[in-house]
Chain A
């Protein structure tokens, strides 16, 4: 199962919401969809969910184009919008039952599916409540349950954690991990990058409709423009070691770490450059008791990628 977005373009009047955006997500992968407000995330998600049509380009789900075969794609895709739309005069179980019916479940299979979804999303206690009486967090949970009613192989989640309390966020994270382990490809948009970092193994970064970067997190971090960061633990003269490193030609900058007796440095090169530098440091008499490579977090990566990338 693979979701492929090919050269997607969509404009609203003179505003280019998506400009030849391409990326792909494999089965079992969780990709974060990040970008500032108005970057085109929701537009792209709506196109993938067959709610909108692109001006050009295509989205392929398991070999089927969502433009040519939307009904087949809808069987594979579960879409959770940022807000649970309309339909307030209805009970939670009735709402879910409607979508289970739409997915084609009949008789006993329908009841089984309802029980399964309620158990999986822990909605049992809310089933008799009206949608209008639910808090935002509860509505998000119902919305997720709705997206899962037909056992989709691709899940598109637009800001799923907005309005959720910390406990619900952790539960959602576990739930998504479980789904990914079952082979579901997940594309999830959020502004809370720390949260995404805990779940995602890949990211797609958009800004003003243009794709800045897409791929597995690990490779994005590694491929990041020929620089690495190291954390060095020193026993003794921390300032002297700092000065030595500062004057080294491959080092860009050196800072004191928040932890005592540690320095953080950025150097030009890759891991082997770092190892050679540490060897030189030890040979020159500095008492290095340990060092490790620091991967950039998602926030750094995002800031780095979006800083003036699109003018």
Chain B
């Protein structure tokens, strides 16, 4: 009886999309045929290997493992592409293509997780199908058990990232999203090939490098899921809230802790390396850059619904609205985080021995400036062309201020040579490229000017937004 109750409870807890997709998967003859085919190919591979003179080779196990993993990676690529394509059709579609799940009261959080988990479970099924053959490759010699587990886990984790990326690109509803996905799949396959090449486990790319890479991939997966959730959310609601919390928590808390932990565990701590404060500052400024860039594509002011939902207490209201969906509040939060990060070293007795945090602070300053300029331009352009998107404006600003100087420097100034010299050329002053030179001061001044320009241009909007935040409290 208790087991039945527990089963019912679990059944209720399951994400509806996961339940439906699994049921569909089990009924889908094509999928079952593909799985059967995959199994047959692997069995055929074993038979082929064992009946030929290849048995004499000592690296047969490695060869077999590489083949198995390539099949797995290819299936993951196809799965992520099909998932993205289907989601794209459901988001855009009318008639047969549309998905009526978007008419149900299912929250964006459950929708995003449901889609992701369904794909992950299918991925797991393919992985489970490959697992016995990985073990067989161990008995065929040429590869260690730890290596098998590590490489296969890494490939699996990167496949999760690919799935999340595919869902995000599909959810945009833009054809371009689907068109660029094969590029990422090719990158994933290339990465898989690199991983399968044992030489990458040498002194340059130690095991710590790969573990950190896997953690970064998992973090990116989480970030993409928050992006997906915000894309599926109601435009009037506070759909950016989870993303901002995720960015700040991971950047200011989890990432530095993880970094320190891995440093200590691996006993790789060395004098002059990243100490706790600089690493904290570096991750924090990355998050700040992301927050302000995202703010540039949000609605300019918080919606009526967000203002109604905000708490009445002025302090709590202020904090809540900093995490609310709007350019004004995103820019404000970015500035607060940026100032905390930049000023933190002055309050600390720690001595900096690395230039990295300065470079990161400068980069964050440029990004804040870009976001500010993009918001200003969007305000002006949307008066004439209301349909112009914040993303297009931001992309244009980025191209003009970053990409064009980059191309110019590469073509005319010999970028590599210039980075050795004392003074950066004028073309780099508008971009973080200026920070790459030995004398980073012009770059830092450029970053500060850029960030301030963003604020000055948007001052009327910021003032109006702040007043509006507290007007109805």
Answer whether A and B are interacting partners: yes
- Asked if A104 contacts B105 (CB within 8 A), the reply is yes
A69: B residues at CB distance < 8 A: 234, 236, 305
- Asked if B98 contacts A85 (CB within 8 A), the reply is yes
Question: A residues 26-54 with Cβ under 8 Å of B?
Answer: 42, 46, 49-51, 53
Q: Smallest CB–CB gap between B72 and chain A, Å?
A: 24
B235: A residues at CB distance < 8 A: 53, 67
Complex Cα distance A53/B235, Å? 10
CB-CB under 8 A for A101 and B19, given A68-B236, A74-B105, A81-B100: yes
Q: What is the chain A residue whose CB lies nearest that of B106?
A: A102
Question: A residues 60-115 with Cβ under 8 Å of B?
Answer: 65, 67-71, 74-75, 77, 79, 81-83, 85-87, 89-91, 94-95, 97-99, 101-104, 106-107, 110
Q: Smallest CB–CB gap between A281 and chain B, Å?
A: 56
CB-CB under 8 A for A91 and B103, given A85-B95, A101-B16: no
Q: Smallest CB–CB gap between A38 and chain B, Å?
A: 14
Q: Mark B165-205, 1 if CB is under 8 A from A, else 0.
A: 00000000000000000000000000000000000000000
Q: Smallest CB–CB gap between B244 and chain A, Å?
A: 21
- Asked if A71 contacts B103 (CB within 8 A), the reply is no
State whether the Cβ of A177 lies closer than 8 Å to any Cβ in chain B: no
CB-CB under 8 A for A68 and B303, given A94-B20, A103-B105: yes
Q: Mark B12-34, 1 if CB is under 8 A from A, else 0.
A: 10001101100110011100000
Complex Cα distance A95/B99, Å? 12
State whether the Cβ of B102 lies closer than 8 Å to any Cβ in chain A: yes
B17: A residues at CB distance < 8 A: 98
- Asked if B96 contacts A90 (CB within 8 A), the reply is no
Contacting residue for A85 out of B12, B28, B96, CB 8 A: B96
State whether the Cβ of A146 lies closer than 8 Å to any Cβ in chain B: yes
State whether the Cβ of A208 lies closer than 8 Å to any Cβ in chain B: no
State whether the Cβ of B104 lies closer than 8 Å to any Cβ in chain A: yes
Q: What is the chain A residue whose CB lies nearest that of B90?
A: A86
State whether the Cβ of B304 lies closer than 8 Å to any Cβ in chain A: yes
- Asked if A51 contacts B102 (CB within 8 A), the reply is yes
CB-CB under 8 A for A51 and B234, given A87-B24, A107-B12: no
State whether the Cβ of B101 lies closer than 8 Å to any Cβ in chain A: yes
Q: What is the chain A residue whose CB lies nearest that of B306?
A: A68
How many chain B residues have a CB neighbour from A under 8 Å?
34
State whether the Cβ of B45 lies closer than 8 Å to any Cβ in chain A: no
Complex Cα distance A50/B17, Å? 19
A146: B residues at CB distance < 8 A: 100
- Asked if B106 contacts A86 (CB within 8 A), the reply is no
State whether the Cβ of B125 lies closer than 8 Å to any Cβ in chain A: no
Complex Cα distance A77/B100, Å? 12
Contacting residue for B23 out of A65, A79, A86, A94, CB 8 A: A94
Complex Cα distance A290/B471, Å? 71
Complex Cα distance A85/B98, Å? 6
- Asked if A90 contacts B23 (CB within 8 A), the reply is yes
State whether the Cβ of A130 lies closer than 8 Å to any Cβ in chain B: yes
- Asked if A68 contacts B304 (CB within 8 A), the reply is yes
State whether the Cβ of A266 lies closer than 8 Å to any Cβ in chain B: no
Complex Cα distance A102/B99, Å? 13
State whether the Cβ of A150 lies closer than 8 Å to any Cβ in chain B: yes
Q: What is the chain B residue whose CB lies nearest that of A74?
A: B105
- Asked if B27 contacts A130 (CB within 8 A), the reply is yes
- Asked if A83 contacts B8 (CB within 8 A), the reply is no
State whether the Cβ of B44 lies closer than 8 Å to any Cβ in chain A: no
- Asked if B99 contacts A68 (CB within 8 A), the reply is no
CB-CB under 8 A for A82 and B95, given A68-B303, A68-B304, A102-B16: yes
Q: Smallest CB–CB gap between B358 and chain A, Å?
A: 45
Complex Cα distance A98/B95, Å? 20
Q: Smallest CB–CB gap between B265 and chain A, Å?
A: 43
Contacting residue for B105 out of A68, A95, A102, CB 8 A: A102
B144: A residues at CB distance < 8 A: none
A74: B residues at CB distance < 8 A: 103-105
- Interface size on A, as a range, is 35 or more
Q: What is the chain B residue whose CB lies nearest that of A49?
A: B103
- Asked if A75 contacts B105 (CB within 8 A), the reply is yes
A86: B residues at CB distance < 8 A: 90, 96-99
- Asked if B96 contacts A50 (CB within 8 A), the reply is no
Q: Smallest CB–CB gap between B114 and chain A, Å?
A: 9
State whether the Cβ of B107 lies closer than 8 Å to any Cβ in chain A: yes
A51: B residues at CB distance < 8 A: 98, 102-103
- Asked if A90 contacts B24 (CB within 8 A), the reply is yes
Find the residue from B27, B94, B100, B304 having the highest chain A CB count within 10 A: B100
B96: A residues at CB distance < 8 A: 83, 85-86
B9: A residues at CB distance < 8 A: 107
A106: B residues at CB distance < 8 A: 12
Q: Mark B74-106, 1 if CB is under 8 A from A, else 0.
A: 000000000000000010011111111111111
Q: What is the chain A residue whose CB lies nearest that of B31?
A: A89
Find the residue from B24, B97, B103 having the highest chain A CB count within 10 A: B103
Complex Cα distance A50/B9, Å? 31
Complex Cα distance A42/B106, Å? 23
A95: B residues at CB distance < 8 A: 20
Q: Smallest CB–CB gap between A189 and chain B, Å?
A: 15
Q: What is the chain A residue whose CB lies nearest that of B114?
A: A102
A71: B residues at CB distance < 8 A: 105, 107, 234
Q: Smallest CB–CB gap between B109 and chain A, Å?
A: 11
A104: B residues at CB distance < 8 A: 105
A110: B residues at CB distance < 8 A: 12
- Asked if B100 contacts A79 (CB within 8 A), the reply is yes
A67: B residues at CB distance < 8 A: 234-236
Contacting residue for A98 out of B19, B29, B103, CB 8 A: B19
Complex Cα distance A273/B225, Å? 71
Q: Smallest CB–CB gap between A78 and chain B, Å?
A: 8
B90: A residues at CB distance < 8 A: 86
Contacting residue for A99 out of B104, B304, B305, CB 8 A: B104
Q: Smallest CB–CB gap between B120 and chain A, Å?
A: 19
Complex Cα distance A68/B9, Å? 33
Q: Smallest CB–CB gap between B421 and chain A, Å?
A: 52
A79: B residues at CB distance < 8 A: 100, 103
B28: A residues at CB distance < 8 A: 89
Complex Cα distance A299/B304, Å? 44
Q: What is the chain A residue whose CB lies nearest that of B95?
A: A83
- Asked if B20 contacts A90 (CB within 8 A), the reply is yes
CB-CB under 8 A for A107 and B8, given A85-B95, A85-B100: yes
Complex Cα distance A22/B447, Å? 51
B103: A residues at CB distance < 8 A: 49-51, 74, 77, 79
Write 9 A-B pairs (CB below 8 A) sorted by A numbering.
A51-B98, A51-B102, A68-B304, A70-B234, A79-B100, A86-B90, A87-B24, A89-B29, A99-B100
Closest 10 CB pairs of A and B: A101-B16, A102-B104, A98-B20, A89-B27, A68-B236, A106-B12, A89-B28, A102-B106, A74-B105, A68-B305
5 further contact pairs, Cβ within 8 A, besides A71-B107, A94-B20: A49-B103, A97-B19, A98-B17, A98-B20, A146-B100
